[in-house]
Structure 1
C-alpha cells in the first residue's frame, strides 16, 4: 500500500523554537518535514514492513481513542541531519488523515534537537514551546466523540507540563489506532532516521482496552533491503520497544 505521508512540519520552525538565534543557519537548508500516513505497508497479517513506521497499528474496528506512554530517547548524532518521531494517533494506516501527538528527536548538523507537537494531518502540525529533554516521561492520548471532534493530550510528567488541544476533522475514518516510532519525511521522501537507540512504549490502549486485544499489526521499518528499526513483541498486551538499526 502506498499512501500520502504524515506530519508536515517546517524544521526551521522547530529549530527556531529550540535553538533561538542559532537556528537561521540550519533553517536555510532544512527540508519541510512531513509526518504522514504509512508510506509503505506490506507483509502478512500481524507482521508487516513499512518504509517509515515501526510499532503497532490496530485495524478492523472503529477506533475512538488511543493512548500510550514512553520515555523520550537520547539520540546519538554523528555530524549529519537525521530525524525521528514518537507518537500515538488514530487513522493513517490505509487512510489519508492522521490525528496524532508526540515528540521529536532530531540531529541538526550533529547536535541533538528535541521537541513536541500535535497534528491533524493533512493540516500542518503545531509545535509546543515547552523544553523536551531526553529521559522525560511522556503520556499521550487522542480521543474523539466519533462525530468529528478530537481531543489530543500530551503530558511531560517529568517536567510537569501538559497540553490538551481540541480540534475538528469530520473526514476522519477512525479505522486504525497506532503507537509508532517514525522516520519523518520531506516532499522528496523518507528522511534519514536518527539513532535513538531504543524507545519503550507502555500502557498502550485503544478504545479503553489493551492494544493487544485488537491483534495489532507489528511493523518493522525497512526500505531497500535495509532494516531501519525493529519492533519487539507485545508484553502484557500493552508494552513493547522499538530499536534503531540503521539511518
Structure 2
C-alpha cells in the first residue's frame, strides 16, 4: 500500500461536520449519520485495521460492480445508543466517494431499530420505508456503466420486497469494491458499535468474479488498541463473517 493511499483513507472532519447539519437520522433520537469512507487504516496491504470498517475491500482494478448477500443480524441493546450497518459498495477505500446500499441495526433508548438505506457519499443517506427484521435474507448490488450512472439494488428475499435506485455521480474513482460491516459516523466522529453478534456474508463478488479473485484486503475494526469487530477468513473466495467484539 502506498503512503498516498494510507493518508487518503482518513475521513474529513470538516465534511462530517457539514453532513451533521442536514443528514437524516436512521434511528429515532439518534445523531445524524453517515456511512463514511474507510477511516483509519493500518497494518499490511492484505490484513489491515480500520476505525469504522470490518470486512473485505478489493483494490487494484477499475470496479464497475459489487454484490453480496447476508442475513440481517439482531442486536442486543443496553441503555446505550449504538449503531451498526452492513453493506456493499464501490469506492471509499482511498477515495472520497462511496456508492453503497445496505441495512442498519441500531439501539435507540434501549430498543432495537432496524432499517435499510442507500447512500451516494458525500451526499446524505436515504432510508427506505420497507420494514427490516432480524433473520431476513438480503441481497445487494451496486453497478455502474463506468461513466457516472449507478444502479443500487437491495432486496429482502424473506419479506419479498426489492428497491432499485438509479443515480448519477460524475468523477467516481471506481477504485475499490467492498463488502463491509461498519460503525457509522456523525459530526463527532465514529459512533459506538451495536452488539450485532455476528453477520455472515455470502456470494461476495465484483466485476462478475468472486471477491477473492482480487486478493482483497481483510479489514479488522479496531481503535485505541481495542478490537471492535473481527473479520474471518474468506471461504471459497466469496463467504466470510464479521463478529462483534466491543462497542
Aligned equivalents of 2:24 and 2:138: distance in 1? Answer: 24
* Secondary structure in structure 2 of the residue aligned to 1:33: coil
Q: Distance in 2 between matches of 1:11 and 1:194?
A: 20
Q: Secondary structure at the match of 1:213?
A: helix
Kept after mapping to 2: 8 A contact 1:118/1:152: yes
Question: Which position in structure 1 is the counterpart of 2:3?
Answer: none
Residue 56 of structure 1 aligns to a residue in which SS? strand
Match of 2:76 in 1: 76
**1:11 shift after superposition:** 8.1
Any residues of structure 2 matched to 1:148-167 within 5 Å, and which?
148-167=148-167
Task: Give the Cα–Cα distance (whole angstroms) in 2 for the partners of residues 68 and 200 of structure 1.
Answer: 10
Aligned partner of residue 100 in structure 2, secondary structure: strand
Give the structure 1 partner of residue 243 of structure 2: 243
Q: Which runs of 5+ in 2 are unaligned?
A: 1-5
Distance in 2 (CA, whole Å) between partners of 1:41 and 1:3 is: 8
* SS across alignment from 2:213: helix
Alignment check: 8 A CA contact 2:23 2:125 kept? no
Structure 2 CA distance for aligned equivalents of residues 12 and 46 of structure 1: 34
Pick aligned residue for 1:14 from 26, 47, 54: 26
Q: TM-score, normalised on structure 1?
A: 0.92
Paired residues of 1:11 and 1:31 also in contact (CA < 8 A): no
**Distance apart, 1:14 and its partner CA:** 3.2
Give the number of equivalent residue pairs: 235
1:169 alignment partner in structure 2: 169
C-alpha contact 2:41 2:48 (8 A) present in aligned 1: yes
After TM superposition, give the deviation of residue 131 of structure 1 in Å.
0.5
Structure 1 residue runs of 5 or longer lacking an equivalent are: 16-22
- Separation of aligned partners in 2, 1:197 and 1:11: 27
Give distance in 1, aligned partners of 2:36 and 2:74.
23
- The 5 A counterparts of 1:29-40 are 30-40=30-40
Q: Displacement, 1:3?
A: 2.4
Matches of 2:114 and 2:244, distance apart in 1: 17
Give the Cα–Cα distance (whole angstroms) in 1 for the partners of residues 207 and 158 of structure 2: 26
Per mean C-alpha deviation after superposition, the further-off stretch among 181-190 and 4-13 is 4-13
Map of 1:114 onto structure 2? 114
SS at match of 2:26: helix
Alignment partner, residue 19 of structure 1: none
Question: TM-score, normalised on structure 2?
Answer: 0.92
Does residue 11 of structure 2 align to residue 4 of structure 1? yes
Question: Which structure 1 residue ranges, 4+ long, deviate > 6 Å from structure 2?
Answer: 9-12
What are the Cα deviations for residues 169-214 of structure 1, in whole angstroms up to 9, with x where unaligned? 0110000000000000111111000000000000000000000000
Q: 1:11 to 1:173 in 2, by over 3 A?
A: closer
Partners in 2 of 1:41 and 1:67 — Cα distance?
A: 23
Preserved CA contact (<8 Å) 1:81 1:107: yes
CA RMSD of aligned residues (A): 1.6
